Amino acid sequence: MKTLQADVAIIGFGTAGMGAYRAARAHTDRIVVIQSGPYGTTCARLGCMPSKLLIAAADSAHAIAQAPMFGVHAGPVKVDGAAVMQRVRSERDRFVGFVLDAVNDWPAEQRVLGRARFVSPHDLMVDEHTRITAQRVVIATGSSPTIPPGWRDALGDRLITSAEVFDWPTLPQSLAVVGGGVVGLELAQALSRLGVRVKLFSKGAKLGPLTDPDVSAQAFSILSAELTIAAPAEVLQVSRLGEQAQLTYRVDGAEHTEAFEQVLVAAGRRPNLASLDLAAAGIAVNDRGLPDFDIETGQIGDSHVFIAGDVSNAHPLLHEAADDGKIAGDNAGRFPDVRVHPRRAPLGVVFTDPQMMLAGASFKALQASGQEFGVGEVNFDDQGRSRVMGQNRGLLRVYGEQHTGRFLGAEMIGPAAEHIGHLLSWAVQHQLTVQQMLDSPFYHPVVEEGVRTALRVLNRHLRMGPVPVARCQDCGPGA
């Protein structure tokens, strides 16, 4: 039995764990990191990057299919599924390689491979080969896809999760996607555009993370015009039918049965906490299996244990996980001098087409807060630059605080949402007023002019400041 002593032990070495390691090293070199599987972050290996590679291929195919709109004819689209997946895997492995290079630059004696569990508040057992005594611990074990009970046994290799999609040697002929969240939506649309027969099953009529009912309804209308969506749907039974998977489901009171080559389960994720034996560390969990912790410090209760990244189920996004790791690692390193770290303005993007985004406070959060706020909006159907590009679909709704005019947040489905989301989250972070945003430059013709239209409407509803006169009279209401 090998024994190690550490000031800080970090369990899990993805984005949050790596951030925790860097931050803790500012305080001590007596650090041990424990990894139960291959190195490489969820983002690089299983999530953000390989999914965007697949989406990029789908966007290329879609652009060719849409070219006749502009008088450009390139012939029928032909998708080579094996070539698509080869590029996805090759580029994914390149991104993972950058992570591995960073990890391999760190001292080998600080890295331990195996599955960790608490055996006392300060002692960790890694498999049965290493016992680590740590003064402080950071839990950054990530999360795993949730699979409904019995589905794996019933479907065998006909069932996959997002962790397995990117190892396909080629594209399937047909696919059922169960789950209308971010992962399900992105993969369903991309694979459909690459020629796979896709059906998306969603429990509700709401798709993705949007909370504003008007924007959410617009998203469902736009995406259901392209994708085959069963919603709200209840999957009653799954079974194996030869080399296919069979789903029996209910929609609008009627039962249907349909067969697919594979079933992709994208119905949420669960934190990887069960194997840690938190009770041995004296840490209680709630009915969702999560410990209570401070989002601004990462500290679990008043203990010496900190939590960071997807495992906390607070903000399952890479930039948030990186911030979580930095906060938890810094406080674990300086413990007991635990300090509050203010969070950045919220920002989330969904890479469907059109894209979705949430920046700052969501509509749901503002309603729950009881805060008085006004709303402005713009529809992109007639927005000038969007029509030029043939991307004139979507809705942006922006929110401002009554009496102060401070900009609070926005929700959107529409063109360039990933870029507009950044601009608006920055405005929230710097506490700009709607008038200050309107006083900023807007070039012509750009999609961002639609933002200006929405802000003008919002400013009128807030009854704050002068309302500028539009200079372009012929470019549409979103110019």
Q: Please give the average pLDDT of every successive group of 10 residues along the chain, which has 479 residues.
A: 95 91 96 84 73 94 94 90 94 83 82 95 95 97 92 96 92 97 96 97 93 98 96 96 96 96 93 94 90 95 94 78 93 96 93 97 97 97 94 97 97 98 98 97 96 97 70 54
Q: Tell the burial category of 254 from Cβ atoms under 10 Å away from its Cβ (0-12, 13-18, 19+).
A: exposed
Q: Please give the structure tokens belonging to residue 271.
A: 């934190």
Residue 103 pLDDT: 79
Distance CA 156, CA 425 (A): 43
Please name the fold of domain 151-267. Answer: FAD/NAD(P)-binding domain (3.50.50)
The beta strands (E) that lie in 299-342 are given as 305-307
β 130-139/2-11 pair status: parallel
Q: Please give the structure tokens belonging to residue 386.
A: 């969007």
- Quote the Cα angle for 380-436-360, to 5°: 60
43, 99 contact by CB (below 8 A): no
Report how far apart, in Å, the C-alpha atoms of 224 and of each of 63, 120, 191 are. Answer: 19, 52, 15
Report how far apart, in Å, the C-alpha atoms of 119 and of each of 36, 149, 213, 246, 287 are. Answer: 17, 30, 48, 44, 23
Report how far apart, in Å, the C-alpha atoms of 477 and of each of 124, 199, 382, 385 are. Answer: 62, 36, 6, 11
Distance CA 186, CA 196 (A): 14
Q: Distance from CA of residue 477 to its chain's centroid? A: 32
CB atoms within 10 A of CB 228: 12
Residue 312 pLDDT: 84
Distance CA 340, CA 334 (A): 12
Residue 472 pLDDT: 52
Q: Tell the burial category of 232 from Cβ atoms under 10 Å away from its Cβ (0-12, 13-18, 19+).
A: middle
Architecture of domain 347-462: 2-Layer Sandwich (3.30)
What is this structure's pTM?
Answer: 0.91
CATH of 2-145+270-334, one of 3.40.640.10, 3.40.50.970, 3.50.50.60, 3.40.50.700: 3.50.50.60
Residue 39 pLDDT: 66
Report how far apart, in Å, the C-alpha atoms of 206 and of each of 37, 176, 187, 221, 256 are. Answer: 35, 18, 17, 10, 21
Distance CA 108, CA 92 (A): 25
65, 58 contact by CB (below 8 A): no
Distance CA 372, CA 403 (A): 9
Q: Is 155 left (phi over 0), alpha (psi -120 to 50) or beta?
A: alpha
Give CATH 3.50.50.60 domain extents, the chain. Answer: 2-145+270-334, 151-267
Q: Please give the structure tokens belonging to residue 380.
A: 């992109």
Distance CA 388, CA 423 (A): 22
Residues making up the chain, counted from first to last: 479
